[in-house]
Amino acid sequence: MPNHIHFIWRIQNGFELETVQRDFLKFTAKALVEKIKAEKGEAALELLYVGLKDRKYQVWKRNSMSIDLITEEFFKQKLEYVHNKPCQPHWNLAQHPTEYRYSSARYYDGLGDEFGLVTHMEEL
């Protein structure tokens, strides 16, 4: 999506959701700010500026939603939702989920994973 992401992840034993989520959001926010700065210049960051004590920019919305996928049926339902989201009329980013470059639907349809990030839950 142009303004948010959906993904399904599994937290390894010994780690807590809150810690992993915090670290992911912090790492990706810094990387995105640096990428925007390098490609578009500092002025392009104006919409992200918050000037708080602990950060200059706010990339991610506070209190990201996280849902435990406790059954295989619920997992499949959410996976289908994530795959079909770019095809919804509101976004109209693709006609079919596999046409959206950033969708794992491509992986599940046997078209590979150009970013090297996707594995199926049974492969973990």
6 and 29 inside one domain: yes
Q: Are residues 90 and 47 in the same domain?
A: no
Q: Each residue of 36-84: pLDDT tens digit? A: 999 999 999 999 999 999 889 999 988 788 888 989 899 999 999 999 9
Tell me: do 56 and 77 sit in the same domain: no
Q: Are residues 58 and 110 in the same domain?
A: no
Into how many domains does the chain fold?
2
- Helix or strand run (H / E) with residue 30: helix 17-40
Percent of the chain with pLDDT over 90: 69
Write out the two tokens for 69.
């996928």
Which sign does the torsion angle of CA 35, 91, 94, 106 carry?
positive
Asked if residue 60 and residue 87 are part of one domain, the reply reads no
Predicted TM-score of the model (pTM): 0.78
| Domain membership of residue 21 as a residue range | 1-66
State the Cα–Cα distance between residues 82 and 29, nearest whole angstrom. Answer: 22
Task: For residues 85 and 55, state if they share a domain.
Answer: no
41 and 102 assigned to the same domain? no
CA distance 19 to 27: 12
Tell me the pLDDT of the chain averaged across its residues.
90
